[in-house]
Amino acid sequence: MEIKHDKWFFDKINNNLMQLHAIDGVMYSGKTKFQTMEILHSPAYGKVLTLDNKIQSSQVDEFVYHEALVHPPMIAHPKPEKVFIAGGGEGATLRELLAYKTVKKAVMVDIDKAVIDISKEHLPEYHAGAFDDPRAKLHYTDARKFLENSKEKYDVIAIDLTEPVEEGPAYLLYTKEFYKIVRDKLTVNGLISVQAGCASYLELLNLKSVKKTLESMFPIVNVYQADIPSFGGAWGFCIGSMKIDPSKLSAAEVDKRIKERGLTNLKFYDGITHQAMFCQPKHIRKALNRGARLITDDSPLYLYESKGL
């Protein structure tokens, strides 16, 4: 079969596996204060955002990732009014949170202002005007320090960060010490959701280590997953809570809450999807409880070396 494309983006999955994406345009390429950033155009996925040479989202399937991160905790909470995002530069997580009319304030903290500014210009489909919503409060600083110094408490805290890379901006936001800060800043019914990396059978180190680390702080922790084609397959998420278990919600109850809360633009998430995401196959369930690491400030988890992506 003839391959006509002559430009390719190499997305490293691990030392033994590389995913190639044909590229027919570059909308932006540069280096911010914290990381390299590109916005590419793919014939398969449309606009593609990459940070430090890793795909963060694509125009065709970003809705899967962002709805999966946001809606399970938001639907599980009885009335989310104040929410917090760590990271989320392209604005799509903010977009999904602000879809809830109950939300009175959405605080988004991303250390890299350049990513937000460039996303505002080149990725309007992602944020869909969310940055201009008066309920949105943006801060350009370290999310951990901001949260630690905040006097407010939040109903949902969404951790939408890059994977933990040595010398990268995010690795200290995956640790036990950070999750303690989060726990202390949640309301009584509060929940944390975390994008936790690849959920493929051979690439579970980050997911199972995030799970174990959250379990050191929260009595209720759930792993769930969604298939994201531009990421190469199954992607993992974790939810932690002191009181609420989202996995116990029936499909009918989820659909009822979606209707009550006026969510009319969902493409991926509904009651059946909610239940399916929390159903892990047997070999994954077993693997998630085997060989997990506790991530701490003194012993952080690096998925890649900073110069070895």
How many other C-beta atoms can be found within 10 angstroms of the C-beta atom of residue 227?
A: 15
Q: What's residue 303's pLDDT?
A: 61
Q: What's residue 173's pLDDT?
A: 87
> What radius of gyration do the chain's Cα atoms show?
18
257 inside domain: yes
254 inside domain: yes
For the chain, percent of residues with pLDDT exceeding 90: 77
Query: Is the pLDDT assigned to residue 308 strictly greater than 70?
Result: no
With beta carbons less than 8 A apart as the criterion, state whether 47 and 122 touch. Answer: yes
Q: What's residue 2's pLDDT?
A: 55
Q: What are phi and psi of 22, to 5 degrees?
A: -65, 140
Q: What's residue 164's pLDDT?
A: 60
Task: Tell me the pLDDT tens digit for each residue of 231-274.
Answer: 988 999 999 999 999 999 999 999 999 999 999 999 999 999 99
17 inside domain: yes
Please check whether residues 47 and 186 belong to one and the same domain. no
Mean pLDDT, residues 209-223: 96
Query: Is the pLDDT assigned to residue 305 strictly greater than 80?
Result: no
Q: What is the CATH number of the domain that holds 163?
A: 3.40.50.150
Q: What's residue 166's pLDDT?
A: 47
Query: Is the pLDDT assigned to residue 213 strictly greater than 90?
Result: yes
Closest to 236 in 3D by CA, of 260, 267, 270, 209? 209
pTM of the model: 0.92
Please check whether residues 66 and 51 belong to one and the same domain. no
Q: Band the pLDDT of 3: cuts 50, 70, 90.
A: low
Please check whether residues 76 and 203 belong to one and the same domain. yes
Q: Band the pLDDT of 79: cuts 50, 70, 90.
A: very high
Please check whether residues 35 and 174 belong to one and the same domain. no
Q: What's residue 6's pLDDT?
A: 72
24 labelled catalytic: no
Mean pLDDT, residues 276-300: 90
Please check whether residues 88 and 232 belong to one and the same domain. yes
Please check whether residues 76 and 13 belong to one and the same domain. no
Given the residues 11, 52, 61, 160, the one annotated as active site: 160
Listed as own residue / partner, the contacts of 29-33 with beta carbons closer than 8 Å and 24 or more positions apart are 30/118, 32/112, 32/114, 32/115, 33/112, 33/114
Please check whether residues 91 and 151 belong to one and the same domain. yes
Identify the top-confidence range among 165-169, 218-222, 300-304. 218-222
Location of structure tokens 């809830």: 100
Q: What is the CATH number of the domain that holds 42?
A: 2.30.140.10
Please check whether residues 271 and 176 belong to one and the same domain. yes
Please check whether residues 14 and 151 belong to one and the same domain. no
Closest to 77 in 3D by CA, of 163, 209, 176, 186? 186
Q: What's residue 176's pLDDT?
A: 94
- For the chain, the average pLDDT equals 91
256 inside domain: yes
Please check whether residues 109 and 178 belong to one and the same domain. yes
305 inside domain: no
Mean pLDDT, residues 211-217: 96
The two structure tokens encoding residue 19: 């995913």
Q: What's residue 122's pLDDT?
A: 95
Q: When comparing pLDDT for 279 and 170, which is higher? A: 279
Structurally, how many domains does the chain consist of?
A: 2
Mean pLDDT, residues 76-90: 96
The two structure tokens encoding residue 236: 């993992």
Domain around 128: 62-288
Please check whether residues 132 and 37 belong to one and the same domain. no
User: What is d(CA 75, CA 258) in angstroms, rounded to the nearest whole number?
Assistant: 7
Please check whether residues 50 and 82 belong to one and the same domain. no
